Amino acid sequence: MASTGRRRFLRGAAAAPLALLARPPAAGATDYASAEEVFNAIDRREADAEGRLAAIARAVGGAEPFARSVAADDARHRVEREKLRRRLKLAASTPPVPPAKPDASLARLREVQQQLVHAHAEGLPALGDAGAVAVLARHMVDASRHLTVIDLWIEAEDVRG
| pLDDT tens, residue by residue, 7-37 | 554 455 555 554 444 444 455 678 999 999 9
Rounded mean pLDDT, 122-142? 97
Sign of the C-alpha dihedral computed for residues 52, 91, 129 and 127 taken in this order: positive
Q: For residue 1, what pLDDT is reported?
A: 47
Average pLDDT over residues 140-150: 98
Q: How far is CA 79 from CA 66, 92, 104, 112, 144, in A?
A: 20, 11, 27, 21, 19
Whole-structure pTM value: 0.80
Domain ranges in the chain are: 31-160
Averaged over 52-76, what is the pLDDT? 95
pLDDT at 122: 97
For residue 102, what pLDDT is reported? 72
Give the per-residue pLDDT at 20. 46
Q: What CATH number is given for 31-160 in this structure?
A: 1.20.1260.10
The DSSP letter of residue 42 is: H
Weakest mean pLDDT among 51-60, 61-70, 92-101, 146-155: 92-101
Separation CA 22–CA 25 (nearest Å): 9
Check residue 23 and give its pLDDT: 47
Tens of pLDDT, residue by residue over 70-122, are 999 999 999 999 999 999 999 988 877 766 777 789 999 999 999 999 999 99
| Whether pLDDT at 3 is above 80 | no
